[in-house]
Structure 1
Amino acid sequence: MFNIAFTGEFVAFFVLSVIMICGAVLMISLEKVVHMVISMAAVFLGLAGMFVLLEAEFVAFVQVLIYAGAVSILMIFGIMMTKHQQEEREKAKPLHETLAAVGALSLFGILFYAIRTTTFPEPTPFQGSHDNTMAIGELLYTGYVIPFELLSVLLTVAFIGAIVLAKKGADE
Structure 2
Amino acid sequence: MLGNIADFFSSGANVMFFVFALLAIGGAIFMISFTKVVSMVVSAAVTFLSLAGLYVLLEAEFLAMAQVLVYAGGISILMIFGIVMTRHKGEEPEDKRRWHHIGLWIGIAGLFGILFYAFQNVSFPKGELATPEDNTLEIGKRLFTEQVIPFELMSILLTVAFIGAIILAKREEE
**The TM-score by the shorter chain falls in which range?**
0.7 to 0.9
Note if 1:127 corresponds to 2:140. Answer: no
Note if 1:76 corresponds to 2:77. Answer: no
Shift in Å at residue 24 of structure 1?
A: 3.3
1:51 aligned to 55, 75, 83, which one? Answer: 55
Q: How do 1:100-119 residues align onto structure 2 when only pairs under 5 Å count?
A: 100-119=104-123
Structure 2 CA distance for partners of 1:131 and 1:106, relative to 1, 3 Å:
same
Range 111-120 or range 162-171, more displaced:
111-120
Alpha-carbon separation, structure 2, partners of 1:16 and 1:31: 24
- TM-score, normalising length from structure 1? 0.85
Structure 2 CA distance for partners of 1:92 and 1:100, relative to 1, 3 Å:
farther
SS at match of 2:88: coil
Q: Over the residues paired in the alignment, what is the CA RMSD in angstroms?
A: 2.2
1:25-82 Cα distance to aligned partner (Å, 9 max, x none):
4434443212221221111111101100011112112111211111111111111111
Alpha-carbon separation, structure 1, partners of 2:40 and 2:58: 27
1:16 aligned to 1, 16, 20, which one? Answer: 20
Alpha-carbon separation, structure 2, partners of 1:31 and 1:140: 40
Alignment gaps of 5+ in structure 2: none
Structure 2 CA distance for partners of 1:22 and 1:104, relative to 1, 3 Å:
closer
Structure 2 CA distance for partners of 1:153 and 1:31, relative to 1, 3 Å:
same
Alpha-carbon separation, structure 2, partners of 1:73 and 1:142: 32
Alpha-carbon separation, structure 2, partners of 1:13 and 1:85: 41
Amino acid at match of 1:70: G
Alpha-carbon separation, structure 1, partners of 2:160 and 2:130: 41
Shift in Å at residue 99 of structure 1?
A: 3.4
Alpha-carbon separation, structure 2, partners of 1:44 and 1:149: 25
Alpha-carbon separation, structure 2, partners of 1:33 and 1:49: 25
